[in-house]
Amino acid sequence: MEKIIVHSHFHTGHRQLGYPGKCKWVHGHTWRGTVTVSCEAFPRDELDMALDFGDLKAVMRFLDHKMLVTEQDSTFLNSELFEPEGVVLLKGKGPSVENVALYVWEHVVAHIQDKFPGRGITYTVEVLIQETENNIFVVEKTATI
């Protein structure tokens, strides 16, 4: 089994529409993320490298200094009010830590698919997102590419 692990951090704003407490207001976090990709044996490119650490970190760093929203947040999706390049649309009902982790997972899998398509390799991709010092969510799923 081979494994690649990267750590990164990023700063974002978000709000939880419909939340009964203070998280309904716009606020921000310095998120910390760890992406772990493992498989029996990684394919290698022409430089004999598997997945570039920087490419995996870039998935999380793309979120840096952005507003995280879902389609329910029509205010931040209004391009007359907010610059679209400063807003990241997540799937789901709210920009929760769970949906941030799923966003990162999907984009890491898409990157692997772009780099090594159609090889029939099963990868385990684990994404750990730390929203605050004490609050962490982890998603771990396999993808055959």
pTM for the full predicted model: 0.96
pLDDT (average), residues 60-69: 98
Nearest C-alpha neighbor of 107 from the set 47, 35, 53: 35
Q: Which fold has domain 2-144?
A: Tetrahydropterin Synthase; Chain A (3.30.479)
Per the CB < 8 A criterion, the answer to whether 55 and 25 are in contact is no
Radius of gyration of the chain measured on its C-alpha atoms? 16
pLDDT digits (tens, 9 = 90+) for 9-40: 999 999 999 999 999 999 999 999 999 999 99
pLDDT in tens, 83-92: 999 999 999 9
Domain boundaries along the sequence of the chain? 2-144
